[in-house]
């Protein structure tokens, strides 16, 4: 391995990594509340809303992420929505992530007895209160594992942004590879960085699960 | 702004060709990764601790790296090691490798759902190990493993779009090649999306039939 050849591209790789981190954080932070709203809308909202959301979620889940990104980045301008690659990638990835994530959240809520919400209403507990004090403490421990799995999938999914000309880690690694003819060094390096990112999420998951157990005094 | 589908008949053959490659790629990966997944599952449950640890580490690596990066590695990285592949075989190799590990997780949890006492009972009755596996253990893992298996099969189908990045002429690639010429991406993308949805639908139908079949088989016993 020739390090003198690799060194000049390390700053690019790092800036790509930074873009990937930004994209990951942005998609997770935006997708989570949207997914929660979709899940609540589908389970508790009026029937037409629930139906519409179901169709929308399932339509997005049928498509490859790449096609969704193409829709936003290449299809958008046809509707007069011209945006930067980073914006387009974020919108596409958030739409994808929120659709899948809403299913994970719904899965957690579906384990709860619907009678509980009725009981809360009968006792005059406001909805926000019922959600925070009754439903979430039971649902959260069930939601966290699939949610974190989804988060890791979404972080890996940010690599698709490279296909709509975002200069993320994958894009920089492949660019450096094709310039230097050092094909696997950069790709391996990028792989290690992605693994580090998902490692952080796995550590975060362990911390959250422990925190939830302590907070809600759950048995192991 | 109105949608204009008048160019679609003209580009239809190209889209169909792309869809054909998508189907080929999906089937090839599905057929190769299924035994691959079984192998991974058996190794995950092997008696040797070092073997289990090795497979666990590999599984973590292959499921932790973005599939797109693995495709790039198969296409650009392997030639350095003396293995130059055409785009399609490279994509099949990369996707089969990582899907085997995803399938391995599913099959391993399916195998774990069968109580170990059954294998011991079969051994006590003098039934050969391979027959115990084929006739007793595996049939019982099917109900648990089938739904996640099919949902991962749709992941394979959707994942084939990534092969566009290594110049495999599949559906997404065909769609892009068309709309960079026609300058009307929306129409072509809508048609491509409909084709993907149709193919997804076929897999979901397979799941429905598969579940009914396995329920009937269980009820018949």
State residue A1's pLDDT score. Answer: 59
Q: What is the CA A90 to chain-centroid distance, rounded?
A: 10
Q: What percent of chain B has pLDDT over 70?
A: 98
Q: Give the ranges where chain A is alpha helix by DSSP (H).
A: 3-6, 10-44, 47-62, 65-70, 85-110, 115-122, 127-130, 136-157, 169-180, 183-215
User: A74: nearest CA in chain B?
Assistant: B185
Q: CB–CB of B77 and A184 under 8 A? A: yes
Instruction: Reply yes or no on whether the pLDDT at B215 is more than 90.
Output: no
Chain centroid, CA B105 distance in Å:
13
Task: Tell me the chain B residues in contact with residue A188 when contact means C-beta distances shorter than 8 Å.
Answer: 73, 77
Q: B77 and chain A: CB distance < 8 Å anywhere?
A: yes
The pLDDT of residue B219: 66
Sequence spans of domains, chain B: 5-220
CB contact at 8 A, B73 and B166: no
* Yes or no: domain B5-220 corresponds to CATH 3.40.140.10: no
DSSP B154-180: HHHHHHGGGGGGGT---HHHHHHHHHH
- pLDDT per residue of chain A (220 residues) written in tens, 0 to 9: 567 777 888 899 999 999 999 999 999 999 999 999 999 899 888 999 999 999 999 889 899 999 999 999 999 888 888 899 999 999 999 999 999 999 989 888 887 877 888 898 899 999 888 888 888 888 888 888 888 888 999 999 999 999 998 999 999 998 888 888 777 788 888 999 999 998 899 899 889 888 888 887 665 5
* ipTM of this predicted structure: 0.83
Task: Tell me the CATH number for domain A3-215.
Answer: 1.10.3720.10
Between chain A and chain B, how many beta carbons pairs sit less than 8 Å apart? 116
Q: Are the Cβ atoms of A66 and B162 closer than 8 angstroms? A: yes
Whether pLDDT at B221 is above 60: no
The angle formed by the CA atoms of residues A64, B206 and B59, to the nearest 5 degrees, is 55
CA distances to A90, B23, B46, B135, B214 from B139, in Å? 44, 28, 20, 6, 9
State yes or no: pLDDT of B78 exceeds 80: no
* Residue B218: pLDDT band with limits 50, 70, 90: low
Distance of CA A77 to the CA centre of its chain: 25
What is the Cα–Cα distance from A54 to A41, expressed in whole angstroms?
Answer: 10
Where does the pLDDT of residue B72 fall: very low under 50, low under 70, confident under 90, or very high at 90 and above?
A: confident
Inspect the interface and report whether the beta carbons of B158 and A59 lie closer than 8 Å.
no
Confidence class for position B192, pLDDT limits 50, 70, 90: very high
Helix (H) or strand (E) holding B153: helix B138-159
- pLDDT, tens digit, for every residue of B25-57? 999 999 999 999 999 998 988 888 999 999 989
Tell me the C-alpha distance between A109 and A71, whole Å: 32
What percent of chain B is predicted at pLDDT more than 90? 34
* Spatial separation of the C-alpha atoms in residues A182 and B193, rounded to whole Å: 36
The conformation of residue A132, written as its DSSP 8-state character, comes to I
Alpha-carbon dihedral angle through residues A111, A115, A116, A121, given to the nearest 10 degrees: 140
Quote the pLDDT of residue B27: 94
| Range ranked top by mean pLDDT from A29-38, B66-75, B149-158 | A29-38
DSSP readout, B67-131? HHHHHHIIIIIGGGGT----HHHHHHHHHHHHHHHHHHHHHHHHHHTS-HHHHHHHHHTT--HHH
Which residues from A are below 8 Å from B157, CB to CB?
64
- The values of phi and psi at residue B85, to 5°, are -115, 150
Q: Where are the domains of chain A?
A: 3-215
């Amino acid at each position: 391995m020739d390090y003198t050849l690799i060194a000049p591209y390390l700053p690019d790789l790092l800036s790509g990594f930074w873009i990937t981190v930004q994209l990951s954080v942005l998609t997770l932070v935006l997708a989570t509340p949207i997914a929660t709203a979709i899940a609540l809308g589908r389970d508790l909202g009026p029937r037409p809303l629930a139906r519409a959301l179901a169709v929308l979620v399932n339509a997005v889940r049928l498509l490859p992420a790449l096609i969704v990104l193409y829709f936003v980045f290449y299809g958008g301008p046809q509707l007069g929505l011209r945006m930067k690659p980073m914006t387009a990638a974020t919108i596409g990835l958030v739409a994808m992530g929120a659709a899948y994530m809403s299913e994970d959240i719904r899965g957690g809520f579906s384990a709860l007895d619907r009678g509980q919400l009725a009981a809360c209403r009968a006792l005059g507990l406001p909805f926000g209160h019922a959600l925070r004090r009754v439903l979430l403490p039971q649902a959260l421990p069930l939601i966290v594992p699939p949610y974190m799995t989804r988060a890791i999938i979404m972080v890996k999914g940010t690599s698709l942004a490279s296909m709509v000309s975002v200069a993320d880690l994958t894009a920089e690694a492949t660019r450096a590879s094709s310039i230097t003819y050092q094909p696997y060094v950069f790709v391996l390096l990028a792989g290690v960085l992605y693994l580090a990112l998902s490692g952080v999420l796995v550590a975060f998951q362990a911390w959250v699960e422990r925190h939830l157990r302590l907070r809600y005094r759950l048995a192991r | 702004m109105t949608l204009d589908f008048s160019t679609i008949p003209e580009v239809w053959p190209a889209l169909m060709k792309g869809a054909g490659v998508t189907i080929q790629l999906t089937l090839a990966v599905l057929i190769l990764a299924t035994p691959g997944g079984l192998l991974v599952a058996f190794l995950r449950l092997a008696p040797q601790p070092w073997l289990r640890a090795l497979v666990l580490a590999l599984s973590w690596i292959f499921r932790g790296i973005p599939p797109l990066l693995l495709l790039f590695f198969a296409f650009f990285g392997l030639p350095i090691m003396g293995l130059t592949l055409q785009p399609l075989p490279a994509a099949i190799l990369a996707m089969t490798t990582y899907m085997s590990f995803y399938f391995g997780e599913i099959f391993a949890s399916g195998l774990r759902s069968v109580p170990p006492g059954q294998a011991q009972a079969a051994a006590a009755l003098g039934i050969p190990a391979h027959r115990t596996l084929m006739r007793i253990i595996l049939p019982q893992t099917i109900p648990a493993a089938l739904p996640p298996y099919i949902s991962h099969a749709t992941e394979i189908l959707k994942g084939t779009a990534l092969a566009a990045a290594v110049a495999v002429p599949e559906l997404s690639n065909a769609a892009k090649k068309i709309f960079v010429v026609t300058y009307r991406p929306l129409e072509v993308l809508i048609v491509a999306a409909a084709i993907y949805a149709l193919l997804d639908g076929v897999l979901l139908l397979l799941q429905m039939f598969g579940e009914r079949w396995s329920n009937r088989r269980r009820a018949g016993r």
